[in-house]
Amino acid sequence: RNYQSPGMRVRDVLGTLRETGRPMTTREIAVRLLAGQGVGSDEKGLSRAGEIVGAALRKLRTKGIASAQTGPGTRMLWTLLSP
């Protein structure tokens, strides 16, 4: 998959949150998406994937689909809002 496609990354992030059914950090979502693609998660790739996932999560929050709450340390836990 090409994470340069905005529609694809939002859809993938949304799917991941639906599949797990639990709050997740941006990094957890990025790791899961990279693993699903069979792509290694070196620190540089994971950092870039985390930036893209974060942008997708912010779009979902703006649309009222997802919300963030304070998680461990300075991380945010993202979850889907009920329709």
User: For 41-67, how does the pLDDT look when each residue is reduced to its tens digit (9 = 90+)?
Assistant: 678 878 888 899 999 999 999 999 999
In this predicted model, what pLDDT tens digit does every residue of 13-39 receive, in sequence order?
999 999 999 999 999 999 888 887 766
Residue 59: C-alpha distances to residues 5, 40, 81 (Å): 14, 26, 13
Give the global pTM: 0.82
Mean pLDDT of 69-79: 89
Take residue 79 and report the two structure tokens written for it.
Answer: 């979850």
Which run of H or of E encompasses 76?
strand 76-80
DSSP, res 35 = H
- Residue 6: phi and psi, rounded to 5, are -60, -40
pLDDT of residue 7: 47
